[in-house]
A and B are shown apart, each in its own frame.
Chain A
Amino acid sequence: MINASPSETISADSQSMVQVIHANWADDHLHFWIEQCPDGQWWDRDAETDDNDTIIHPNAIIPDWIDGESSSVVLRLPVSADRPTPSQAFAMYGGVETEDHQAAGLSDVRVPTIAVKPAHVPALLESLYDRQDANEDFHVGPGVEYFAAASRLAEHLIAGHRFVPMVYQDAAGMLSGRWQPWLSDDMTTKRVSKLIRSMPAAARAVPDGHAHDAWSITVDFLSQVTDASCRRVMVSEEMTDTIDSIDPGMDQQVAWLNGLLGSGVEVPASTGQRAEISRTVRKWISELEDRGESSTWRFGLRLAEPIGEGLAMDIDQPDESVMWSLSFFLQSLDDEEVILRGADVWLINRDRIVYEGLTLENPQELLMGELGRASRYYKKLEDALDESEPIQLLIETKEAYRFLREVKPVLEEQGFGVECPSWWDSQAGRLGTKLRIDSDPSEMVLGEGADADAAGAQLGLGTLVGYHWEIAIGDTTLTLHEFEELAQKNSPLVRIGGQWVEIRPEDVENAISFMRENPGGEMELGEAMQLALASDSSQTGLPVTGVEATGWVASMLGGEEGVSLELPMLETPESFKGTLRPYQTRGLSWMAFMERFGFGACLADDMGLGKTIQMIALILHERNHAKGPIDPTLLIVPMSVIGNWVKEFERFAPSIKVQVHHGVDRKQGDTFVSDAQEMDVVITTYALVHRDNEFITKVKWGRVVLDEAQFVKNPAAKQSMSVRALKVPRRVAMTGTPVENRLSELWSIMDFLNPQYLGPSGTFRKKFALPIERHRDQVKMDKLRTMVRPFILRRVKTDPAVVSDLPEKLESKEWCPLTSEQASLYEGCVKQMLTDVEHAEGIHRRGLVLAALIKLKQICNHPAQMLKDNDPQHGKIIDPGRSGKCVRLLQQLDEVLSEGDQALVFTQFRQMGHILSNMLRHELGKEVLFLHGGTAQGQRQKMIDKFQEATGKNPILILSLKAGGVGLNLTAANHVFHFDRWWNPAVENQATDRAYRIGQTRTVQVHKYIVRGTLEERIDEMIESKTELAENIIGHGERWLTDLGTDKLRSLLALRADTISDEM
């Protein structure tokens, strides 16, 4: 999302390529159309109308690469002054200003489309996502998202056999056969209602017979997609062969099948037959809706384990021949705890009883009638029907198993109550395999004399660990021999230590051969973890129910929160200038532990929790405990945070020797190598790791640290590949974004930290990324989380353990670099001003200085603010890559949003507010609110309300008001950015206090932006020095500067070297 590297930067010209594809269901086809605005002038084009006076969408084109019919549809769309307004997605990605063009109402708008038949819809929808993944200017719109989810639901139902054959009838009485999704069952109903409730208005904008009704459109779509999918299989299997030889006139079933098994839907039947067929089919299918006689009581069956004489289980009797009882009962639907046993029902001699306050009419009739109904689904029950007062049925173990596996679900779906022993459907009753990993206790490995480096080098995911598989039921473990004995009983349900267990006949053989082939031994830890954490039953023949480890592997696998209790805790390093909060000490200990065992670790704490100082502490700790020379750490960071790192090292660990490898006069080749080897830390950027790869790799690094590790999110990018190629024993990644939710990022980071652990990226994408991202596959997501959890430490601000350690307000300065464009503008401006003031005096001179100061501040913000070369209010996208501050702001806001937080961004300049609002909307894909002096009162309140509602739709509010609009209450924000400075702490605090005030329940993080090497840094230094001059500055803003002599001006304003970025 953030484009900070040169290769990914979007130039202002490329915006014409932004496309958002939409989908609408009309006339039995899914219609696709694309929103596109070639010249960026959305509002400048007048919309034409067709012969019916319908507006023709001026910014819609057809996706001509889609295979389908050229067509068009009329949509009721929001319009502003007869022009359709852009979709939210297009306004954001295409940078269309919408503030002054709020839609006033709906109008019919015609869009050209490609119409696709239901049969081709599922594959096509999927391919649109592939296209989106491959092309960053191509976006799927809400309609596509919706119909893709619906189409996926149809496939889900098809795979689960949740469809029925159906007959359709037209006005003339003609019949056709159709395959229909069956939506009336509980789980399906929940899914369908979720789907329908989330239907975007845009997806139901076609003014047709569906009357914009979500259910009507959706069910039509689902039906047609289902029929097409089923029919395709029928045709390819040539199912009509089965009925070809039979005259449909002789058998109505065959007539019906004629409309189901082939490509044609027609049901050949005479008039009389037609009525009969449709009546019969309707009656048959309506069986599914039969929920019994009573709406307040239901019939139920309870399966109970065999009970021997004296109420104890008969241990001696073979499992397969004991008898299970299936007893009947009536259960109230108003209160399911109210149950009347069959035996009691036959004792009632009245037609109507009140039991536990609930009325029951004709209990005996109900029991009998419902038993009869149940016997339709379970033939065995017919035996009970022969009795005059049936209360139960006795069945053998095999039958009991069949009942549990096959009959129970059918009865339950048909509205009967079924109760069974609690071990059924639970882990306790399920046979599984467990992996045991044995390793030495951590103390032994870390023990006194153990050489840290030597130990660390040997361990890691490649370490061989002892393992063996166990067959387990709940907590009980079985040997292979014991298991074989059980299997010989040839019974699907067996007793182990008095506990009944399901042994699926189909599992037994696989499990035995797997156990024989895998007697245990040693394997690489990484492989063992993959097996234990992510595998399914396909490899072992039995479900893998868990992993049990001893020794250091157990410490590493950790507890639920990631940090194991067994982790050896470290002290704050002696020379550390400051204090670590308790959770920071835990972070330091965890990273040290992971490194000792050779694992790459990812510190993913929320922004503001102090990842930087935990890292500094780690480096200090290592230096303090070193017994000999230690190889330097290579710290790879985005350009925009180099300054921050340098300042933090100076402040917290002045003893650490830090070298910045950056800038045009950076060291090269052997000089670099020999110098670097003498350093503790070398800081460089992602771009330079790639560019200077040749000699950077020659240094013997002790550790590589990636800050803002999401920079390697694109696994195929050259920078990412260079970074991953570094062969270094210790690897740490730092990121403030929730990596677990961004899968390509996660893969890249994990592959850097622990190569190959997640497999090749292509496999990972297919196995995890696609199912999770497109189809919300919860099982895969959970598996992946389990796999990566040991390597990621993520604490969030709201963690109770963290919250108690945090102050209410955290202030930090963000040191930003200048881009080379900014630097040359800056230098030019200073030079020009110094020349001009030579010959000026008095008010004129002051005027010149003031004007130049404003220009300099504008340049620091963004060159476009000074040059006015792109007008953000006319849809021009401003490239953030031209400003160090903007790049940093985007990074930080990205983290803010990913944490679900909200932010205020203050700037002195209204023009800059416009630039930011345009840029943020485009880059972050969120609506951005902008409140400035010219905002009308009503509009202002509306914005504040929107922001305070904190729905997640408007998480960013930019303010350019003087003093930040005293009196506003903006406590929905917990981040405050001062994009440029007032140089008056009182004014800035007043602004900060919009968020940091009564009603604020979270820690407020204040970020003050300062461009290094410029007057911003100089003034900041002066204020910090608290001198008389500082008083002056605070009291009078910039006016004091105008009185300075030329030399003083020069020394104050001149650009310091080594602060320029040449690679934004």
Chain B
Amino acid sequence: MAEENKPSKPTAKKAAKKAAKKVTKKTTKKAAPSKPEAVKKAPPADRETKIIARPTLSANVPTAPKKIKPQYASFRSSRKSLTNPRRVRGGVKLKLKPDEQPSSWITQRLLRVAEDGAEGQINREGLEYARAGQTKRLTIEGTLCEGVIQGRSDKPYKTELKLNQFSVHDQEQIIHAMADQMRYAAKLLAGELPSNIEDVFAPLDLRLFPTEPSDLSPTCSCPDWSDDQPWCKHAVCLTALLAERLGNEPMLVFDLHGMPGQELIDGLRQKRAIGIQGPGPTPVLVPHIQGVTDLQSPPLEDQIDDFWSVGDELAELDTPIAPPPVNCVLLRRLGPSPFVGKFPLVGLMQTCYELIGQSALMQEEQSNGDD
């Protein structure tokens, strides 16, 4: 599955390099193994998350052509019905075949919204545009989904989709609600979108994925577009492409609402790390620790029978108080001070580490020492 999504044909060297870099970078961020070995011996569950994460990542490659041949074939067969738009090379294409069911409920939802927005001929043409790759460029930047779509005229049209923006207040409410529901938080922290995520939004009177045509408020520079009838074929085309993109990369929807997915995840981590309550200070960095941060506690209700028992594993927890094999190993890993000031931060820190470590050792010695 992962293999399939990698660029299969060598494009320009540069692009490939860039793409590869992007892929690897993203991967490290999302599925960063706490230790390389961990990846190798990871249980199947971990592998699953890895695989799920992949398509999301490769979708980041903007011009990656996939399964070119079958797509061309379908384009050719339906070409006659097109009213001669100018052909585009290397455009963004909808992969979904005409009679195929989308695999993601998100894709399905957006396609339905597009259908509600424009029925019949316009819808059909829009989807054909999408399959034919008439879209020269598709960008999702900030809260805007923008498409440059080539129609019949010389100049391509500029089409835009926009979701309503979550206010700061909304965002806080969302994070709070999700952090409260551990099953959401855990999935999101693992880079997945929980299937019933919309249940969180309904009580807040918010909508995550569009359900009505007006939710997407399309605009387009083509002559067919108007305030009264905002659903031209270009809007349909762009919506279809966005539908597929979101199906692969659901977290993007948060970006479109003005709430970057990464921020949401960071927010959740902070909340989980320090408790959701109160305005207390939070650490500027909360590392994600695979196998720990995403560990879900069972609901208290499920533990009534052994409410008061400590797990067996505690007996295996050895915590020797011993000097480190290498002094200040973390400080060595941190390297030189990142600040511009002249103060010898690292040197002072080394003293601190030694004093603090010494004190812990001495305490232990006192409690264990001979009479």
Contact of A197 among B37, B295, B326 (CB under 8 A): B295
> Is A419 an interface residue when CB atoms closer than 8 A count as contact?
no
> Is A922 an interface residue when CB atoms closer than 8 A count as contact?
no
CB-CB nearest in chain B for A778: B318
Docked pose: A200 CA to B305 CA in angstroms = 11
Collect the chain B residues with CB atoms within 8 Å of residue A88's CB.
Answer: 306, 308-309
CB-CB nearest in chain B for A759: B370
Contact A202 B313 (CB under 8 A): no
Interface string of B293-308 (1 = CB under 8 A from A): 1010101110110111
Contact B293 A215 (CB under 8 A): yes
Docked pose: A189 CA to B6 CA in angstroms = 32
> Is B279 an interface residue when CB atoms closer than 8 A count as contact?
yes
Contact B25 A293 (CB under 8 A): yes
CB-CB nearest in chain B for A285: B285
Q: A146-B314, A159-B322 are in contact. Are A291 and B33 (CB under 8 A)?
A: yes
Q: A198-B313, A233-B356 are in contact. Are A166 and B283 (CB under 8 A)?
A: yes
Q: A152-B319, A288-B334, A335-B40 are in contact. Are A409 and B272 (CB under 8 A)?
A: no
Contact A766 B283 (CB under 8 A): no
Docked pose: A89 CA to B328 CA in angstroms = 42
Contact B284 A105 (CB under 8 A): no
Collect the chain A residues with CB atoms within 8 Å of residue B307's CB.
Answer: 77-78, 87, 103, 200-202
Tell me, rounded to whole Å, the shortest Cβ–Cβ distance linking B24 to chain A: 5
Stretch at the interface among B12-20, B83-91, B124-132, B197-205: B12-20
Stretch at the interface among A410-418, A463-471, A1006-1014: A410-418
Which residues of A in the span 360-394 have a Cβ within 8 Å of any Cβ on B? Answer: 361-362, 365, 376-377
Contact of B275 among A155, A208, A251, A777 (CB under 8 A): A208
Contact of A216 among B272, B319, B328 (CB under 8 A): B272
Docked pose: A215 CA to B295 CA in angstroms = 7
Collect the chain A residues with CB atoms within 8 Å of residue B349's CB.
Answer: 165
CB-CB nearest in chain A for B328: A161
Contact A417 B355 (CB under 8 A): no
Which residues of A in the span 426-446 have a Cβ within 8 Å of any Cβ on B? Answer: none
Collect the chain B residues with CB atoms within 8 Å of residue A278's CB.
Answer: 284
Collect the chain A residues with CB atoms within 8 Å of residue B293's CB.
Answer: 215
Contact A252 B339 (CB under 8 A): yes
Contact of B304 among A103, A180, A189, A196 (CB under 8 A): A103
> Is A253 an interface residue when CB atoms closer than 8 A count as contact?
yes
Collect the chain A residues with CB atoms within 8 Å of residue B343's CB.
Answer: 243, 246, 251, 253-254, 257
> Is B317 an interface residue when CB atoms closer than 8 A count as contact?
yes
Stretch at the interface among B148-156, B235-243, B252-260, B357-365: B357-365
Most buried by A among B31, B287, B297, B343: B297
Collect the chain B residues with CB atoms within 8 Å of residue A165's CB.
Answer: 349, 352
Docked pose: A776 CA to B314 CA in angstroms = 9
> Is B120 an interface residue when CB atoms closer than 8 A count as contact?
no
CB-CB nearest in chain A for B346: A253
Tell me, rounded to whole Å, the shortest Cβ–Cβ distance linking B44 to chain A: 15
Collect the chain A residues with CB atoms within 8 Å of residue B121's CB.
Answer: none
Collect the chain B residues with CB atoms within 8 Å of residue A415's CB.
Answer: 35-36
Interface residues on A, range: 35 or more
Tell me, rounded to whole Å, the shortest Cβ–Cβ distance linking A488 to chain B: 28
Contact A214 B319 (CB under 8 A): no
Contact A192 B289 (CB under 8 A): yes
Docked pose: A234 CA to B354 CA in angstroms = 11
Tell me, rounded to whole Å, the shortest Cβ–Cβ distance linking B307 to chain A: 5
Q: A183-B289, A214-B297 are in contact. Are A284 and B338 (CB under 8 A)?
A: yes
> Is A182 an interface residue when CB atoms closer than 8 A count as contact?
yes
Tell me, rounded to whole Å, the shortest Cβ–Cβ distance linking B331 to chain A: 8
Contact B333 A410 (CB under 8 A): yes
> Is B329 an interface residue when CB atoms closer than 8 A count as contact?
yes
Contact B334 A194 (CB under 8 A): no
> Is A145 an interface residue when CB atoms closer than 8 A count as contact?
yes
Docked pose: A762 CA to B121 CA in angstroms = 93
Interface residues on B, range: 35 or more
> Is A805 an interface residue when CB atoms closer than 8 A count as contact?
no
Docked pose: A770 CA to B35 CA in angstroms = 34
Contact B289 A189 (CB under 8 A): yes
> Is B342 an interface residue when CB atoms closer than 8 A count as contact?
yes
> Is B325 an interface residue when CB atoms closer than 8 A count as contact?
yes
Docked pose: A289 CA to B352 CA in angstroms = 22
Contact B287 A289 (CB under 8 A): yes
Docked pose: A288 CA to B284 CA in angstroms = 14
Contact A291 B300 (CB under 8 A): no
Docked pose: A259 CA to B357 CA in angstroms = 19
Contact of B317 among A105, A194, A200, A294 (CB under 8 A): A194
Tell me, rounded to whole Å, the shortest Cβ–Cβ distance linking A230 to chain B: 5
Most buried by A among B3, B35, B273, B280: B35
CB-CB nearest in chain A for B19: A361
Which residues of A in the span 232-286 have a Cβ within 8 Å of any Cβ on B? Answer: 232-234, 237, 239, 242-243, 246, 250-254, 257, 260-261, 278-286
Tell me, rounded to whole Å, the shortest Cβ–Cβ distance linking A82 to chain B: 15
CB-CB nearest in chain A for B296: A213
Docked pose: A209 CA to B275 CA in angstroms = 5
Which residues of A in the span 792-849 have a Cβ within 8 Å of any Cβ on B? Answer: none
Stretch at the interface among A168-176, A881-889, A891-899: A168-176
> Is B116 an interface residue when CB atoms closer than 8 A count as contact?
no
Docked pose: A1003 CA to B280 CA in angstroms = 61
Collect the chain B residues with CB atoms within 8 Å of residue A692's CB.
Answer: none
Collect the chain A residues with CB atoms within 8 Å of residue B34's CB.
Answer: 184-186, 189
Contact A282 B285 (CB under 8 A): yes
Q: A78-B307, A189-B289 are in contact. Are A377 and B281 (CB under 8 A)?
A: no
> Is B335 an interface residue when CB atoms closer than 8 A count as contact?
yes
CB-CB nearest in chain A for B302: A201
Contact B283 A283 (CB under 8 A): no
CB-CB nearest in chain A for B338: A284
> Is B321 an interface residue when CB atoms closer than 8 A count as contact?
yes
Contact A158 B360 (CB under 8 A): yes
Contact A158 B356 (CB under 8 A): yes
Tell me, rounded to whole Å, the shortest Cβ–Cβ distance linking B270 to chain A: 10
> Is A1027 an interface residue when CB atoms closer than 8 A count as contact?
no
Q: A200-B309, A770-B367 are in contact. Are A169 and B31 (CB under 8 A)?
A: no
Contact B24 A214 (CB under 8 A): no
> Is A191 an interface residue when CB atoms closer than 8 A count as contact?
yes
> Is A753 an interface residue when CB atoms closer than 8 A count as contact?
no
Q: A105-B301, A210-B276 are in contact. Are A193 and B292 (CB under 8 A)?
A: yes
CB-CB nearest in chain A for B369: A766
Contact of A162 among B28, B316, B330 (CB under 8 A): B330
Tell me, rounded to whole Å, the shortest Cβ–Cβ distance linking B46 to chain A: 13
Tell me, rounded to whole Å, the shortest Cβ–Cβ distance linking A609 to chain B: 27
> Is A142 an interface residue when CB atoms closer than 8 A count as contact?
yes
Collect the chain B residues with CB atoms within 8 Å of residue A1039's CB.
Answer: none
> Is B38 an interface residue when CB atoms closer than 8 A count as contact?
yes
Contact of B368 among A199, A376, A405, A770 (CB under 8 A): A770
Q: A78-B307, A126-B367 are in contact. Are A779 and B24 (CB under 8 A)?
A: no
> Is B327 an interface residue when CB atoms closer than 8 A count as contact?
yes
Docked pose: A751 CA to B364 CA in angstroms = 27
Tell me, rounded to whole Å, the shortest Cβ–Cβ distance linking B45 to chain A: 14
Contact of B371 among A163, A286, A762, A771 (CB under 8 A): A762
- Give me 22 A-to-B residue pairs in the complex whose CB atoms sit less than 8 angstroms apart, sorted by A's number: A87-B307, A155-B319, A158-B360, A161-B327, A168-B282, A191-B319, A195-B314, A196-B292, A198-B312, A198-B317, A209-B275, A211-B179, A229-B360, A251-B343, A287-B335, A291-B32, A291-B33, A334-B39, A352-B16, A415-B36, A770-B367, A775-B318
The 7 closest A-B pairs by CB, nearest first: A209-B277, A198-B311, A251-B341, A209-B275, A168-B281, A156-B319, A201-B303
Which A residues have a C-beta under 8 Å from some C-beta of B? 76-78, 87-89, 103, 105-106, 126, 141-142, 145-146, 149, 152-153, 155-156, 158-172, 174, 176, 178-180, 182-186, 189, 191-202, 204-205, 208-217, 219-220, 223, 229-230, 232-234, 237, 239, 242-243, 246, 250-254, 257, 260-261, 278-289, 291-296, 298, 333-336, 351-352, 359, 361-362, 365, 376-377, 405-406, 409-410, 413-415, 417, 760, 762-763, 766-767, 770-771, 775-779, 953
